[in-house]
Structure 1
Amino acid sequence: MKIYETAGFPNPARIRMALAEKNASDAVTFVPVDVMAGEHRSEAFRAKNPDATVPYLELADGTCIAQCTAITEYIDGSFDGPSLTGRSPFARAHISMMNLRAENGLLNAVADYFHHATPGLGPDLETDQCAEWGEKRKAVATKTMSYLDGVLAESPYVAGDAFSVADITVFAGLAFADFAKVDIAEELTHLHAWRARVAERPSVAN
Protein backbone atom coordinates (compact mmCIF):
# COMPACT_ATOMS: atom_id res chain seq x y z
CA MET A 1 0.00 0.00 0.00
CA LYS A 2 1.14 3.49 -0.85
CA ILE A 3 -0.24 6.76 0.46
CA TYR A 4 0.35 9.75 -1.80
CA GLU A 5 0.37 12.82 0.40
CA THR A 6 1.70 16.27 1.17
CA ALA A 7 3.17 16.34 4.65
CA GLY A 8 1.59 18.84 7.00
CA PHE A 9 -1.67 19.21 5.07
CA PRO A 10 -4.89 18.52 7.05
CA ASN A 11 -6.26 15.57 5.09
CA PRO A 12 -2.99 13.62 4.91
CA ALA A 13 -2.70 14.19 8.66
CA ARG A 14 -6.08 12.48 9.10
CA ILE A 15 -4.84 9.36 7.32
CA ARG A 16 -1.59 9.28 9.26
CA MET A 17 -3.57 9.50 12.48
CA ALA A 18 -5.92 6.70 11.41
CA LEU A 19 -2.98 4.46 10.50
CA ALA A 20 -1.32 5.18 13.85
CA GLU A 21 -4.55 4.38 15.72
CA LYS A 22 -4.56 0.99 13.98
CA ASN A 23 -0.82 0.53 14.64
CA ALA A 24 -0.35 0.23 10.90
CA SER A 25 1.90 3.15 9.98
CA ASP A 26 4.72 0.78 9.05
CA ALA A 27 2.45 -1.16 6.69
CA VAL A 28 2.35 1.62 4.08
CA THR A 29 4.81 3.62 2.02
CA PHE A 30 4.31 7.39 1.99
CA VAL A 31 4.91 9.04 -1.38
CA PRO A 32 5.37 12.84 -1.32
CA VAL A 33 3.36 15.00 -3.70
CA ASP A 34 4.56 18.55 -4.46
CA VAL A 35 1.27 20.41 -4.31
CA MET A 36 2.98 23.80 -4.29
CA ALA A 37 4.48 22.97 -7.69
CA GLY A 38 1.10 21.81 -8.99
CA GLU A 39 1.98 18.10 -9.18
CA HIS A 40 -1.54 17.19 -8.05
CA ARG A 41 -2.95 18.82 -11.19
CA SER A 42 -0.72 16.94 -13.60
CA GLU A 43 -2.12 14.48 -16.12
CA ALA A 44 -0.22 11.60 -14.50
CA PHE A 45 -1.66 12.40 -11.07
CA ARG A 46 -5.22 12.84 -12.34
CA ALA A 47 -5.00 9.49 -14.10
CA LYS A 48 -4.81 7.89 -10.66
CA ASN A 49 -6.91 10.39 -8.72
CA PRO A 50 -9.25 12.52 -10.85
CA ASP A 51 -10.11 14.56 -7.74
CA ALA A 52 -6.60 16.09 -7.93
CA THR A 53 -6.38 16.00 -4.14
CA VAL A 54 -4.14 14.49 -1.50
CA PRO A 55 -4.10 11.99 -0.04
CA TYR A 56 -4.97 8.94 -2.05
CA LEU A 57 -4.19 5.29 -1.46
CA GLU A 58 -2.76 2.95 -4.10
CA LEU A 59 -3.04 -0.79 -3.59
CA ALA A 60 -0.57 -3.40 -4.81
CA ASP A 61 -2.66 -4.11 -7.92
CA GLY A 62 -2.70 -0.43 -8.88
CA THR A 63 -6.24 0.27 -7.66
CA CYS A 64 -6.53 3.76 -6.19
CA ILE A 65 -8.83 4.99 -3.44
CA ALA A 66 -9.28 8.72 -2.83
CA GLN A 67 -11.23 10.75 -0.24
CA CYS A 68 -10.22 10.53 3.41
CA THR A 69 -13.35 8.81 4.67
CA ALA A 70 -13.09 6.08 2.04
CA ILE A 71 -9.40 5.58 2.73
CA THR A 72 -10.04 5.38 6.47
CA GLU A 73 -12.79 2.81 5.94
CA TYR A 74 -10.33 0.67 3.99
CA ILE A 75 -7.66 1.05 6.66
CA ASP A 76 -10.13 0.30 9.43
CA GLY A 77 -11.24 -2.91 7.78
CA SER A 78 -7.73 -4.03 6.82
CA PHE A 79 -5.98 -3.89 10.19
CA ASP A 80 -6.69 -5.15 13.68
CA GLY A 81 -7.51 -2.96 16.63
CA PRO A 82 -10.43 -0.83 17.84
CA SER A 83 -12.80 0.17 15.07
CA LEU A 84 -12.70 3.76 13.85
CA THR A 85 -15.87 3.50 11.77
CA GLY A 86 -18.13 1.40 14.01
CA ARG A 87 -19.03 -2.27 14.20
CA SER A 88 -22.81 -2.23 14.62
CA PRO A 89 -25.23 -0.71 12.09
CA PHE A 90 -26.10 2.08 14.54
CA ALA A 91 -22.47 2.83 15.40
CA ARG A 92 -21.50 3.00 11.73
CA ALA A 93 -24.42 5.29 10.93
CA HIS A 94 -23.85 7.55 13.94
CA ILE A 95 -20.12 7.86 13.33
CA SER A 96 -20.69 8.51 9.63
CA MET A 97 -23.21 11.24 10.45
CA MET A 98 -20.89 12.98 12.92
CA ASN A 99 -17.92 12.62 10.60
CA LEU A 100 -19.87 14.29 7.79
CA ARG A 101 -20.90 17.12 10.10
CA ALA A 102 -17.28 17.59 11.15
CA GLU A 103 -16.02 17.40 7.59
CA ASN A 104 -18.62 19.67 5.97
CA GLY A 105 -19.15 22.07 8.84
CA LEU A 106 -15.62 22.42 10.19
CA LEU A 107 -12.74 21.07 8.10
CA ASN A 108 -14.14 21.92 4.68
CA ALA A 109 -15.58 25.20 5.93
CA VAL A 110 -12.17 26.28 7.22
CA ALA A 111 -10.62 25.15 3.93
CA ASP A 112 -13.09 27.25 1.96
CA TYR A 113 -12.27 30.28 4.09
CA PHE A 114 -8.54 29.66 3.69
CA HIS A 115 -8.69 29.17 -0.08
CA HIS A 116 -11.16 31.96 -0.83
CA ALA A 117 -10.80 34.72 1.77
CA THR A 118 -7.04 34.62 2.38
CA PRO A 119 -4.01 34.38 0.06
CA GLY A 120 -4.17 30.64 0.70
CA LEU A 121 -1.55 28.72 -1.24
CA GLY A 122 -0.67 31.68 -3.42
CA PRO A 123 -1.87 33.14 -6.73
CA ASP A 124 -0.62 30.27 -8.86
CA LEU A 125 -2.87 27.78 -7.08
CA GLU A 126 -5.72 29.91 -5.75
CA THR A 127 -7.87 30.69 -8.78
CA ASP A 128 -11.50 31.85 -8.95
CA GLN A 129 -11.52 33.06 -5.37
CA CYS A 130 -14.72 34.43 -3.83
CA ALA A 131 -13.95 36.24 -0.58
CA GLU A 132 -17.62 36.62 0.36
CA TRP A 133 -18.11 32.86 0.13
CA GLY A 134 -15.00 32.30 2.20
CA GLU A 135 -16.24 34.58 4.97
CA LYS A 136 -19.61 32.82 5.01
CA ARG A 137 -17.85 29.49 5.38
CA LYS A 138 -15.77 30.87 8.24
CA ALA A 139 -19.04 31.63 10.04
CA VAL A 140 -20.17 28.04 9.40
CA ALA A 141 -16.94 26.73 10.95
CA THR A 142 -17.42 28.89 14.05
CA LYS A 143 -21.02 27.71 14.40
CA THR A 144 -19.93 24.09 14.04
CA MET A 145 -17.35 24.53 16.81
CA SER A 146 -20.15 25.68 19.13
CA TYR A 147 -22.27 22.70 18.10
CA LEU A 148 -19.41 20.29 18.79
CA ASP A 149 -18.83 21.88 22.18
CA GLY A 150 -22.42 21.00 23.06
CA VAL A 151 -21.97 17.44 21.80
CA LEU A 152 -18.82 17.01 23.89
CA ALA A 153 -20.61 18.31 26.97
CA GLU A 154 -22.71 15.13 26.77
CA SER A 155 -20.22 12.51 25.58
CA PRO A 156 -16.46 11.93 25.82
CA TYR A 157 -15.99 11.71 22.06
CA VAL A 158 -17.59 13.25 19.02
CA ALA A 159 -19.68 10.19 18.17
CA GLY A 160 -20.25 8.74 21.63
CA ASP A 161 -18.19 6.76 24.10
CA ALA A 162 -15.44 5.56 21.74
CA PHE A 163 -12.78 7.38 19.73
CA SER A 164 -13.60 7.31 16.02
CA VAL A 165 -12.89 8.77 12.61
CA ALA A 166 -15.18 11.66 13.56
CA ASP A 167 -12.72 12.65 16.29
CA ILE A 168 -9.86 12.51 13.80
CA THR A 169 -11.73 14.83 11.45
CA VAL A 170 -12.52 17.35 14.18
CA PHE A 171 -8.95 17.28 15.47
CA ALA A 172 -7.61 17.98 11.97
CA GLY A 173 -10.22 20.65 11.45
CA LEU A 174 -9.17 22.51 14.59
CA ALA A 175 -5.52 22.28 13.58
CA PHE A 176 -6.43 23.79 10.21
CA ALA A 177 -8.41 26.49 12.01
CA ASP A 178 -5.28 27.41 13.98
CA PHE A 179 -3.28 27.63 10.77
CA ALA A 180 -5.94 29.67 8.97
CA LYS A 181 -6.36 31.95 12.01
CA VAL A 182 -9.98 31.01 12.59
CA ASP A 183 -10.49 31.57 16.31
CA ILE A 184 -11.65 28.76 18.57
CA ALA A 185 -13.60 30.64 21.23
CA GLU A 186 -12.26 30.31 24.77
CA GLU A 187 -15.74 29.66 26.17
CA LEU A 188 -15.94 26.36 24.26
CA THR A 189 -14.48 24.60 27.26
CA HIS A 190 -15.67 21.11 26.38
CA LEU A 191 -14.13 21.33 22.92
CA HIS A 192 -10.83 22.59 24.33
CA ALA A 193 -10.74 19.85 26.98
CA TRP A 194 -11.50 17.18 24.37
CA ARG A 195 -8.75 18.53 22.15
CA ALA A 196 -6.22 18.37 24.96
CA ARG A 197 -7.15 14.74 25.66
CA VAL A 198 -6.89 13.72 22.01
CA ALA A 199 -3.53 15.47 21.71
CA GLU A 200 -2.19 13.04 24.33
CA ARG A 201 -3.08 9.96 22.27
CA PRO A 202 -0.05 8.07 20.91
CA SER A 203 -1.31 8.64 17.35
CA VAL A 204 -0.83 12.37 17.88
CA ALA A 205 1.84 12.68 20.57
CA ASN A 206 4.27 10.40 18.73
Structure 2
Amino acid sequence: MKIYDTEGFPNPLRVRIALAEKGATNQVEFIPVDVMGAEHRSEGFRAKNPDATVPVLELDDGTCIAQCNAITEYIDGVFDGPSLTGTTPKERACIAMMNLRAENGLMNAVGAYFHHATPGLGPDLETWQCAEWGNKQKEVASATMAYLDRVLADNEFVAGESFSVADITTYAGLVFADFAKVDIPGSLSNLRAWRAKVAARPSIAG
Protein backbone atom coordinates (compact mmCIF):
# COMPACT_ATOMS: atom_id res chain seq x y z
CA MET A 1 0.00 0.00 0.00
CA LYS A 2 1.42 3.37 -1.06
CA ILE A 3 0.35 6.91 -0.27
CA TYR A 4 1.43 9.70 -2.57
CA ASP A 5 1.38 12.95 -0.64
CA THR A 6 3.15 16.14 0.34
CA GLU A 7 4.01 16.16 4.03
CA GLY A 8 2.75 19.23 5.84
CA PHE A 9 -0.12 19.92 3.44
CA PRO A 10 -3.60 19.90 5.05
CA ASN A 11 -5.31 17.06 3.19
CA PRO A 12 -2.33 14.69 3.50
CA LEU A 13 -2.36 15.54 7.20
CA ARG A 14 -5.91 14.16 7.46
CA VAL A 15 -4.81 10.79 6.08
CA ARG A 16 -1.67 10.65 8.22
CA ILE A 17 -3.69 11.30 11.39
CA ALA A 18 -6.20 8.59 10.43
CA LEU A 19 -3.39 6.10 9.89
CA ALA A 20 -1.81 7.02 13.24
CA GLU A 21 -5.15 6.64 15.03
CA LYS A 22 -5.41 3.11 13.61
CA GLY A 23 -1.78 2.34 14.49
CA ALA A 24 -1.05 1.68 10.82
CA THR A 25 1.46 4.36 9.84
CA ASN A 26 4.25 1.81 9.47
CA GLN A 27 2.12 -0.38 7.19
CA VAL A 28 2.17 2.02 4.25
CA GLU A 29 4.89 3.48 2.04
CA PHE A 30 4.81 7.27 1.70
CA ILE A 31 5.92 8.60 -1.68
CA PRO A 32 6.53 12.37 -1.75
CA VAL A 33 4.96 14.45 -4.51
CA ASP A 34 6.63 17.74 -5.44
CA VAL A 35 3.56 19.96 -5.59
CA MET A 36 5.64 23.15 -5.71
CA GLY A 37 7.34 21.71 -8.77
CA ALA A 38 3.93 20.88 -10.29
CA GLU A 39 4.56 17.12 -10.19
CA HIS A 40 0.87 16.63 -9.27
CA ARG A 41 -0.05 18.01 -12.69
CA SER A 42 2.24 15.68 -14.61
CA GLU A 43 0.87 13.08 -16.99
CA GLY A 44 2.19 10.26 -14.81
CA PHE A 45 0.50 11.53 -11.67
CA ARG A 46 -2.76 12.34 -13.45
CA ALA A 47 -2.87 8.72 -14.56
CA LYS A 48 -3.23 7.86 -10.87
CA ASN A 49 -5.49 10.79 -10.00
CA PRO A 50 -7.04 12.92 -12.77
CA ASP A 51 -8.00 15.48 -10.10
CA ALA A 52 -4.27 16.31 -9.81
CA THR A 53 -4.46 16.50 -6.01
CA VAL A 54 -2.75 14.84 -3.07
CA PRO A 55 -3.06 12.48 -1.31
CA VAL A 56 -3.60 9.35 -3.38
CA LEU A 57 -3.73 5.81 -2.01
CA GLU A 58 -2.44 3.07 -4.32
CA LEU A 59 -3.27 -0.52 -3.38
CA ASP A 60 -1.14 -3.55 -4.16
CA ASP A 61 -3.42 -4.47 -7.07
CA GLY A 62 -2.88 -1.06 -8.68
CA THR A 63 -6.19 0.48 -7.63
CA CYS A 64 -5.78 4.19 -6.93
CA ILE A 65 -8.08 5.93 -4.47
CA ALA A 66 -8.16 9.73 -4.26
CA GLN A 67 -10.23 12.11 -2.12
CA CYS A 68 -9.56 12.15 1.63
CA ASN A 69 -12.98 10.88 2.63
CA ALA A 70 -12.62 7.83 0.38
CA ILE A 71 -9.09 7.14 1.60
CA THR A 72 -9.99 7.40 5.27
CA GLU A 73 -13.05 5.22 4.69
CA TYR A 74 -10.75 2.53 3.30
CA ILE A 75 -8.20 2.97 6.10
CA ASP A 76 -10.94 2.71 8.73
CA GLY A 77 -12.29 -0.48 7.21
CA VAL A 78 -9.07 -2.33 6.56
CA PHE A 79 -7.14 -1.66 9.78
CA ASP A 80 -8.02 -2.66 13.34
CA GLY A 81 -8.75 -0.18 16.09
CA PRO A 82 -11.61 2.12 17.12
CA SER A 83 -13.82 3.16 14.23
CA LEU A 84 -13.32 6.64 12.82
CA THR A 85 -16.43 6.59 10.63
CA GLY A 86 -19.00 5.05 12.99
CA THR A 87 -20.33 1.56 13.62
CA THR A 88 -24.13 2.04 13.49
CA PRO A 89 -26.17 3.66 10.70
CA LYS A 90 -26.92 6.64 12.96
CA GLU A 91 -23.27 7.09 13.97
CA ARG A 92 -22.09 6.83 10.38
CA ALA A 93 -24.66 9.34 9.18
CA CYS A 94 -23.91 11.87 11.93
CA ILE A 95 -20.15 11.55 11.44
CA ALA A 96 -20.48 11.87 7.67
CA MET A 97 -22.67 14.96 8.08
CA MET A 98 -20.28 16.72 10.45
CA ASN A 99 -17.26 15.70 8.43
CA LEU A 100 -18.76 17.30 5.32
CA ARG A 101 -19.65 20.44 7.26
CA ALA A 102 -16.06 20.70 8.46
CA GLU A 103 -14.68 19.93 5.02
CA ASN A 104 -16.89 22.29 3.04
CA GLY A 105 -17.25 25.07 5.59
CA LEU A 106 -13.72 25.11 7.00
CA MET A 107 -11.13 23.11 5.07
CA ASN A 108 -12.35 23.98 1.57
CA ALA A 109 -13.36 27.52 2.53
CA VAL A 110 -9.90 28.26 3.92
CA GLY A 111 -8.43 26.67 0.79
CA ALA A 112 -10.48 28.93 -1.46
CA TYR A 113 -9.38 31.99 0.51
CA PHE A 114 -5.73 30.90 0.39
CA HIS A 115 -5.68 30.10 -3.32
CA HIS A 116 -7.80 33.05 -4.48
CA ALA A 117 -7.31 35.97 -2.09
CA THR A 118 -3.63 35.55 -1.16
CA PRO A 119 -0.53 34.78 -3.25
CA GLY A 120 -1.24 31.13 -2.43
CA LEU A 121 1.35 28.77 -3.88
CA GLY A 122 2.73 31.43 -6.20
CA PRO A 123 2.03 32.62 -9.76
CA ASP A 124 3.30 29.45 -11.44
CA LEU A 125 0.64 27.35 -9.70
CA GLU A 126 -2.11 29.89 -9.03
CA THR A 127 -3.01 30.38 -12.69
CA TRP A 128 -6.51 31.78 -12.03
CA GLN A 129 -7.69 33.70 -9.00
CA CYS A 130 -10.88 35.48 -7.94
CA ALA A 131 -10.20 37.54 -4.81
CA GLU A 132 -13.88 38.32 -4.27
CA TRP A 133 -14.68 34.60 -4.09
CA GLY A 134 -11.73 33.95 -1.82
CA ASN A 135 -12.68 36.66 0.64
CA LYS A 136 -16.28 35.44 0.70
CA GLN A 137 -15.04 31.97 1.59
CA LYS A 138 -12.98 33.42 4.41
CA GLU A 139 -16.28 34.64 5.85
CA VAL A 140 -17.68 31.13 5.45
CA ALA A 141 -14.70 29.69 7.35
CA SER A 142 -15.19 32.14 10.21
CA ALA A 143 -18.91 31.34 10.38
CA THR A 144 -18.12 27.61 10.43
CA MET A 145 -15.71 28.11 13.33
CA ALA A 146 -18.51 29.81 15.26
CA TYR A 147 -20.88 26.96 14.39
CA LEU A 148 -18.39 24.33 15.54
CA ASP A 149 -17.87 26.24 18.78
CA ARG A 150 -21.62 25.96 19.46
CA VAL A 151 -21.55 22.24 18.64
CA LEU A 152 -18.66 21.68 21.02
CA ALA A 153 -20.51 23.41 23.84
CA ASP A 154 -22.62 20.26 24.12
CA ASN A 155 -20.37 17.54 22.69
CA GLU A 156 -16.94 16.25 23.59
CA PHE A 157 -16.07 15.83 19.92
CA VAL A 158 -17.34 17.29 16.66
CA ALA A 159 -19.75 14.45 15.87
CA GLY A 160 -20.62 13.35 19.39
CA GLU A 161 -18.80 11.64 22.23
CA SER A 162 -16.19 9.75 20.18
CA PHE A 163 -13.22 10.98 18.15
CA SER A 164 -13.90 10.57 14.43
CA VAL A 165 -12.94 11.67 10.94
CA ALA A 166 -14.99 14.81 11.59
CA ASP A 167 -12.47 15.78 14.26
CA ILE A 168 -9.57 14.99 11.95
CA THR A 169 -10.99 17.21 9.21
CA THR A 170 -11.73 20.03 11.64
CA TYR A 171 -8.25 19.86 13.16
CA ALA A 172 -6.55 19.87 9.75
CA GLY A 173 -8.80 22.74 8.68
CA LEU A 174 -7.65 24.79 11.67
CA VAL A 175 -4.01 23.99 10.90
CA PHE A 176 -4.62 25.27 7.37
CA ALA A 177 -6.36 28.34 8.81
CA ASP A 178 -3.27 29.11 10.88
CA PHE A 179 -1.12 28.91 7.77
CA ALA A 180 -3.51 31.13 5.79
CA LYS A 181 -3.79 33.57 8.71
CA VAL A 182 -7.49 33.00 9.30
CA ASP A 183 -7.64 33.37 13.06
CA ILE A 184 -9.93 31.58 15.50
CA PRO A 185 -11.74 34.39 17.34
CA GLY A 186 -10.76 34.54 20.98
CA SER A 187 -14.42 34.27 21.98
CA LEU A 188 -14.66 30.71 20.64
CA SER A 189 -13.48 29.07 23.86
CA ASN A 190 -15.07 25.68 23.16
CA LEU A 191 -13.31 25.33 19.81
CA ARG A 192 -10.01 26.44 21.30
CA ALA A 193 -10.28 23.97 24.19
CA TRP A 194 -11.23 21.15 21.82
CA ARG A 195 -8.26 21.95 19.61
CA ALA A 196 -5.83 21.81 22.52
CA LYS A 197 -7.29 18.46 23.59
CA VAL A 198 -7.07 16.97 20.11
CA ALA A 199 -3.54 18.31 19.56
CA ALA A 200 -2.41 16.27 22.58
CA ARG A 201 -3.56 12.96 21.07
CA PRO A 202 -0.64 10.61 20.29
CA SER A 203 -1.67 10.51 16.62
CA ILE A 204 -0.95 14.25 16.40
CA ALA A 205 1.48 15.07 19.18
CA GLY A 206 3.68 12.17 18.07
> Quick check: TM above 0.5?
yes
Once residues 205 and 97 of structure 1 are traced to their aligned partners in structure 2, the CA distance between those partners, rounded to angstroms, is: 27
Residue 148 of structure 2 is aligned to residue 151 of structure 1: no
1:124-155 Cα offsets, whole Å, 9 max, x none, are 00011000000000000000000000000000
> What SS class does the counterpart of residue 153 from structure 2 fall into?
helix
Structure-to-structure mapping, 1:136-147, within 5 angstroms: 136-147=136-147
Task: Find the counterpart in structure 1 of residue 186 from structure 2.
Answer: 186
Task: Find the counterpart in structure 1 of residue 13 from structure 2.
Answer: 13
| Structure 1 residue 102: Cα displacement | 0.1
Which AA in structure 1 matches 2:166? A
Structure 1 alignment gaps of length 5 or more: none
Once residues 18 and 7 of structure 1 are traced to their aligned partners in structure 2, the CA distance between those partners, rounded to angstroms, is: 14
| Structure 1 residue 84: Cα displacement | 0.2
| Structure 1 residue 157: Cα displacement | 0.1
Structure-to-structure mapping, 1:57-136, within 5 angstroms: 57-136=57-136
Residue 199 of structure 2 is aligned to residue 199 of structure 1: yes
> What SS class does the counterpart of residue 36 from structure 1 fall into?
coil
1:93-133 Cα offsets, whole Å, 9 max, x none, are 00000000000000000000000000000000001100000
CA RMSD of aligned residues (A): 0.3
| Structure 1 residue 183: Cα displacement | 1.1
Once residues 60 and 84 of structure 2 are traced to their aligned partners in structure 1, the CA distance between those partners, rounded to angstroms, is: 23
Once residues 69 and 6 of structure 2 are traced to their aligned partners in structure 1, the CA distance between those partners, rounded to angstroms, is: 17
Which AA in structure 2 matches 1:165? V
Once residues 192 and 39 of structure 1 are traced to their aligned partners in structure 2, the CA distance between those partners, rounded to angstroms, is: 36
| Structure 1 residue 73: Cα displacement | 0.3
Task: Find the counterpart in structure 1 of residue 164 from structure 2.
Answer: 164
1:160-189 Cα offsets, whole Å, 9 max, x none, are 000000000000000000000001100000
Which AA in structure 2 matches 1:102? A
> What SS class does the counterpart of residue 152 from structure 2 fall into?
helix
Which AA in structure 1 matches 2:175? A
Once residues 198 and 179 of structure 1 are traced to their aligned partners in structure 2, the CA distance between those partners, rounded to angstroms, is: 18
Once residues 121 and 144 of structure 1 are traced to their aligned partners in structure 2, the CA distance between those partners, rounded to angstroms, is: 24
Once residues 156 and 106 of structure 1 are traced to their aligned partners in structure 2, the CA distance between those partners, rounded to angstroms, is: 19
Which AA in structure 1 matches 2:81? G
